[in-house]
Amino acid sequence: MRIHYFQHVPFEGLGCIEEWINRNDHQLSVTRFYEPAVFPDVDDVDVLIVMGGPMGIYDEEEFPWLRGEKQFIRQVVDAGKIMLGICLGSQLIADVLGARVYANRYKEIGWFDVQATAEGLQTSVFSGSNPQFPVFHWHGDTFDLPEGAIWLFHSEACRNQGFLWDNRVLALQFHFEVTSESIREMIENGIHEFTTAPYIQSPSEILRRKEIIRRNNEAMFQVLDRLIAF
C-alpha cells in the first residue's frame, strides 16, 4: 500500500505506526507542514494518515496551510480512499465531513480510560476489543459526530472519542501510537499546558505509567491491520 501521512509539528510523528508500516513493507511518504508543504497526487495515495498537533482546526490565519490540508482531506474522502486521523487529525476529518469542532468542557492530558460503544464493538475494526481500556490523551477540543458516522468511544471527560465513517475513515481523539520517546517529546514541548485541572495528570504520573504503551501499540497494530484490510 502507498501510505502518506501529514505531520504538523516535529514532536508528533507516526510513533509505533512507522514500525507497523516497515513490518508490512508498505511505501511511505510524508507532508510536513512545518517545512514547505508539498501535497502528493491523490491518485498516488492508497491510505492517508493525519497526525496530531497543538494547533486548532480554525487557526488558519496563523497556519494558512490548514486550508490546503482540509481540501486534500476532502479529495481523499471523495476518492474513496482509506484514512486515519489522530487527535487534531480526527478533528480535521470531522470538520471536512461537516461536523462541528469546538472546545471541550475539560482539557484531557494523560492516561484515562475510554469505553467502547455497543455500535463500536460491532464494527470490523474494533470487534472483539476490550470494552474499556486506558489510552493516552492530549486534547482540549472535541467534535460532534459527522452524519452517518458510527460512534466508537467515550471517556469520562469527553463524549466523542472516535468515529468510523463509511467503514474506511477512522477518527480517534486519543493516541494509541505513542512511544516512550514521543510522550517525552510531547511533554517537553507542551509543558506550559500542565495546570491543575480534573483531567490533567502531572508529567511524572504520565511517565510512571509507561507499561501501558506496549498494549496500546499492539491495539494500534490491530486497528491498522483491520482498517487497511478493508
Domain extent listing, the chain = 2-228
Q: CA-to-CA distance for 1 and 47, rounded, in angstroms?
A: 7
Q: pLDDT tens digits for 103-124?
A: 999 999 999 999 999 999 999 9
**pLDDT the model gives residue 210:** 87
- pTM score, two decimals? 0.97
Q: How confident is the model at residue 63 (pLDDT cuts 50, 70, 90)?
A: very high
3-state secondary structure of 86: strand
Please report which confidence band the pLDDT of residue 5 belongs to, taking 50, 70 and 90 as the band edges: very high
CATH topology (fold) of 2-228: Rossmann fold (3.40.50)
Q: Inform me whether the pLDDT recorded for 68 exceeds 70.
A: yes
Q: Which residues contact 149 (CB under 8 A, 6 or more apart)?
A: 97, 99, 163, 164, 165, 171
Q: Is 103 helix (H, G, I), strand (E, B) or coil?
A: strand
pLDDT above 70 covers a percentage of the chain that reads 100
8 Å CB contact between 16 and 221:
yes
CA distances from 97 to 62, 80, 106, 175 (A): 23, 13, 24, 21
HSE-up of residue 30 (Cα within 13 Å, Cβ side): 15
150-173 in b/e burial notation, b at 16+ Cβ within 10 A?
A: bbbbbbebbebbbbbbeebbbbbb
Burial of 144 (0-12, 13-18, 19+ CB in 10 A): middle
Task: Supply 95's cell numbers.
Answer: 470538520
The SS3 assignment for 217 reads helix
Residue type, 71: Q
Instruction: State mean pLDDT over 81-89.
Output: 98
Residues in Cβ contact with 45 at an 8 Å cutoff, skipping those fewer than 6 apart: 2, 3, 4, 76, 81
- What average pLDDT is seen over the chain? 97
